[in-house]
Structure 1
Amino acid sequence: MMELVVHAWPGPVPALRDGLFVIGVETSALRERAREQIRLAARTALAAVLSVDAGAIAIDSTPGEAPRIKLAGDEHAIGCSFTHEEGYALAAINLHGAVGVDVMRVQDIQDWDNVARDYLGPEVCAALAAAPAGKRAIGFAQAWTRHEAWLKCHGRQLSEWQAGDEASTGIALRGLPEGLVGHLAMAGAN
């Protein structure tokens, strides 16, 4: 699986693909309110997928840890991840375990080479340097969202690249609003 379609929410029950689904919510709310909106949407969508009452689903969060799904008060191996960009929020659900998701607006970043070198490693930095200038912004956004999704999936904090780190892979997200790029990572696939 190299890409996954984002389901607009609210909408029809998301179709599972290998136990995964991603929903997107357009929002004009500030970050904290957008955070509440996407978590409610995730609970509602998951309830529809599982055919249970949304009130039976809770999403627990502890800073620095991946969110955890509880069904009727019991923690489950269902993975979830959230990401926000101005005007838009995503939730990824993996019925089979850990998942990470990230979205980013494509934009020129003045010091892209320093950021890529420091956080994405020499392989990605070299690929971005070799890319035509008109393609560099989207290439950077793709590399960054792949990396962030991988970090979230593996419960790691952002840190500078170290020898031995490998370029992360990811599943590209399709169906995002124009100007946004996103990726998903799941345990065992990266």
Structure 2
Amino acid sequence: MEPRGVLVTVWAVVLRTGADVPRDTAGKRRLRAEARAWAGDRLAERLRAPAAGVRWERSRAGKPRLAHDPGLYVSYSHSGGAVVLAVCAGGPVGVDVERVVPRPHLSELAAECLAPAESAAWREAAPGREAYEFARLWTRKEAVLKAWGRGFPGSLAEVVTGPGARPGEPAVLALPAALGPVGLWTVRDLGAPDGYRAAVAVRAPAARVVVMSGGAGRA
């Protein structure tokens, strides 16, 4: 029997803003290391262990996990200056954050990645907000992909979400068959500062998502 009402804990932070977000390769490398260290600190707090004791490894599919606690599902994402970490003991979890940036071929990308119903919602976005709406849908799909973590058996257009009962709690409408029934999944939009979109997904129905303080800001 699948767990119901499992808890997903999310930490989010903005490490850099505006012009402080590096564009050069060396700066991006330093920021990646800082993001990983921040995620390690949050995991250490969660585990009540020294940060030096948090050891990461990756599955064969490349999904990050804790070497010493494989039963605790972990996912983290960073884009621009924002970082998001999700932890869940009740089912595979995935999280994604995306910085909203101009995309010269956004219409072509939307046609490739969005299902017809999602595409219709995207086209209804207010002028100038198309990139934000696309990022909102994209992060949901990426979060599901990261939670699955086994190589994706289909296209992103096969992960379909729509309006749910409450804002920020989208309904999962369709998935590739390998991911199981849609009722086994929970997808939630996460609050994000202007310029970002974020989402979390867990393979467990009716999961509860709790967002903690990130320590140096909040995404």
Q: Could you tell me which residue of structure 2 aligns to residue 152 of structure 1?
A: 146
1:67 to 2:83 alignment:
no
1:37 to 20, 34, 56: 34
In terms of mean alpha carbon deviation, does 126-135 or 178-187 score higher? 126-135
User: Normalising by the residue count of structure 1, what TM-score does the alignment of the two structures yield?
Assistant: 0.73
Question: Which residues in structure 2 correspond to 1:17-166 (within 5 Å)?
Answer: 18-27=7-16, 28=21, 30-61=27-58, 64-70=61-67, 74-155=68-149, 156-157=151-152, 160-161=155-156, 165-166=158-159
Q: Which amino acid aligns with 2:13?
A: G
Q: Which runs of 5+ in 2 are unaligned?
A: 1-5, 162-171, 173-186, 207-219
Would you say how many aligned residue pairs link Structure 1 and Structure 2? 168
Q: How far is 1:63 from its partner?
A: 7.1
Q: Does structure 1 conserve the Cα–Cα contact (< 8 Å) formed by 2:90 and 2:204? A: no
User: Normalising by the residue count of structure 2, what TM-score does the alignment of the two structures yield?
Assistant: 0.65
Q: Provide closer, same or farther for how the CA distance between residues 95 and 161 of structure 1 changes in structure 2, counting only shifts above 3 A.
A: closer
RMSD between superposed Cα atoms in Å: 2.7
Q: How far is 1:115 from its partner?
A: 1.0
Q: CA-to-partner distance for each residue in 1:7-35, whole Å, 9 max, x for gaps?
A: xxxxxxxxxx9241223250456333323
1:185 to 2:201 alignment:
yes
Q: Does structure 2 conserve the Cα–Cα contact (< 8 Å) formed by 1:57 and 1:69? A: yes
Give the whole-Å Cα distance in 2 for the aligned partners of 1:123 and 1:135: 18
Q: How far is 1:158 from its partner?
A: 9.4
Q: How far is 1:116 from its partner?
A: 1.6
Give the whole-Å Cα distance in 2 for the aligned partners of 1:35 and 1:158: 29
Q: Could you tell me which residue of structure 2 aligns to residue 172 of structure 1?
A: 189
Q: Provide closer, same or farther for how the CA distance between residues 64 and 33 of structure 1 changes in structure 2, counting only shifts above 3 A.
A: farther
Moved over 6 A (4+): none
Q: CA-to-partner distance for each residue in 1:75-120, whole Å, 9 max, x for gaps?
A: 4221222222222322222233321111122344333232122122
Q: Could you tell me which residue of structure 2 aligns to residue 10 of structure 1?
A: none
Q: Does structure 1 conserve the Cα–Cα contact (< 8 Å) formed by 2:57 and 2:65? A: yes
Q: Does structure 2 conserve the Cα–Cα contact (< 8 Å) formed by 1:149 and 1:185? A: yes
